[in-house]
Amino acid sequence: MRIIQISEFHLRSDGKLSFQKCDTRAFVAKTIDWLRDLEPYDLPDYFVVSGDLAEGGTREGLAMVREELARLPRPAYVVPGNHDDRNLYLEMLPDNAPVASDIAPYICYTVESQPVRSIFIDTSLPGKHWGGLADPVADWLEAQLDKHPKTPTIVFGHHPPFESGLPAMDEGFENRDRMAQIFEKHKDHIIYCCGHLHTPLITTWHGVSCRVSPAVCMQMEVDFRTPDSPDVTTKEREAGFKGGGDRFYLANPACYIHNFVDGQVNTHYVPIPVGADYSGPWPFKYYEGEH
Ligand SMILES: [Fe+2]
Ligand SMILES: [Fe+2]
């Protein structure tokens, strides 16, 4: 069994470049082209997009995302990121996010595939860039895991619950202790896959293997400097340097292929050629009138 995970579309519906540099519509379309053209023997059981689908969470952007996902030859499941509106997900993406009635409006559901099931959780917090586990989501997740405590399970969310070491991205995770408690209880049979960081990262947190997906749009510069690091230049300081983890390159996207073999989930990093020019780093900075 195989799942292909992609993340971070940030699709703009107004034709403008994201952060004045990235043609997110073209990056997404070319990524979907590449996935659609995979040889039949390379196709996964399903695709997962781990959030930040439409820049500004707009209805128009989400409609474009829905059209792109419909071009894929297998089902595509989604979770919301900090740029997304969960109510629009409920209204516009019922096939891509078949939300369990007992947990709506949180975008949480289970796909009971064999031999690995997937549990999708909503880590978005309306109006906030960082993530967390709302109490109803925590209760629901724990109940799902308790139901089949031996079934290999991939939990998909948008935000990593752990510190990344990229200071501008480390804004905390609400209800982190509860997440840690759930992970420890179920660490023998789950892994956690997410996005948000725009760069691949693999770690273990409270006994659970965690895998952060690379991005489709805007690959994060891996920069560990804090705002008061002696290595910050005067020019950067004057520009309001917030710490590493706040700039991107126009690099090619990549996906993760999660392949279940011999009782374990192997994750392969596979670049997707879309002709990116690798310029940068550019700041993740909104300009006048943008959001
Ligand atoms: Fe993102
Ligand atoms: Fe995000």
Q: What is the pLDDT of residue 287?
A: 65
What's the rounded Cα separation, in Å, for the pair 215 and 10?
Answer: 10
Which amino acid is located at 115 in the chain?
A: P
Tell me which residue of 115, 114, 97 sits closest to 106, measured CA to CA: 97
Tell me which residue of 250, 258, 256 sits closest to 278, measured CA to CA: 250
If you measure from the C-alpha of residue 24 to the centroid of ligand 2, how many angstroms do you get, rounded to a whole number?
15
Tell me the pLDDT of the chain (291 aa) as tens digits: 999 999 999 999 999 999 999 999 999 999 999 999 999 999 999 999 999 999 988 999 999 999 999 999 999 999 999 989 999 999 999 999 999 899 999 999 999 999 999 999 999 999 999 999 999 999 999 999 999 999 999 999 999 999 999 999 999 999 999 999 999 999 999 999 999 999 999 999 999 999 999 999 999 999 999 999 999 999 999 988 999 999 999 999 999 999 999 999 999 999 999 999 999 999 998 765 665
> Which pair of tokens denotes residue 195?
């996005």
Q: Name the phi and psi angles at 172, rounded to 5.
A: 95, 170
Tell me which residue of 223, 228, 128, 131 sits closest to 172, measured CA to CA: 131
If you measure from the C-alpha of residue 84 to the centroid of ligand 2, how many angstroms do you get, rounded to a whole number?
9
If you measure from the C-alpha of residue 68 to the centroid of ligand 1, how many angstroms do you get, rounded to a whole number?
18
If you measure from the C-alpha of residue 177 to the centroid of ligand 2, how many angstroms do you get, rounded to a whole number?
21
If you measure from the C-alpha of residue 129 to the centroid of ligand 2, how many angstroms do you get, rounded to a whole number?
7
* Angle in degrees, 0-180, between the axes of helices 24-36 and 59-70, rounded to the nearest 10: 20
Q: What is the pLDDT of residue 290?
A: 62
If you measure from the C-alpha of residue 232 to the centroid of ligand 1, how many angstroms do you get, rounded to a whole number?
24
If you measure from the C-alpha of residue 117 to the centroid of ligand 2, how many angstroms do you get, rounded to a whole number?
24
If you measure from the C-alpha of residue 5 to the centroid of ligand 1, how many angstroms do you get, rounded to a whole number?
14
DSSP codes, 44-89: -SEEEE-S--BGGG-HHHHHHHHHHHHTSSS-EEE---TT--HHHH
Ligand with the closest atom to the CA of 171? 2
Tell me which residue of 106, 52, 49 sits closest to 218, measured CA to CA: 52
Is the backbone peptide bond immediately before 230 cis, with ω within 30 degrees of 0? Answer: no
What's the rounded Cα separation, in Å, for the pair 85 and 233?
Answer: 37
Ligand with the closest atom to the CA of 8? 1
If you measure from the C-alpha of residue 195 to the centroid of ligand 2, how many angstroms do you get, rounded to a whole number?
7
Tell me which residue of 56, 116, 67, 42 sits closest to 272, measured CA to CA: 42
Residues near ion ligand 1 (CB < 5 Å) are 8, 52
Ligand with the closest atom to the CA of 158? 2
What's the rounded Cα separation, in Å, for the pair 113 and 90?
Answer: 22
> Which pair of tokens denotes residue 138?
């925590």
Q: What is the pLDDT of residue 57?
A: 87
Ligand with the closest atom to the CA of 159? 2
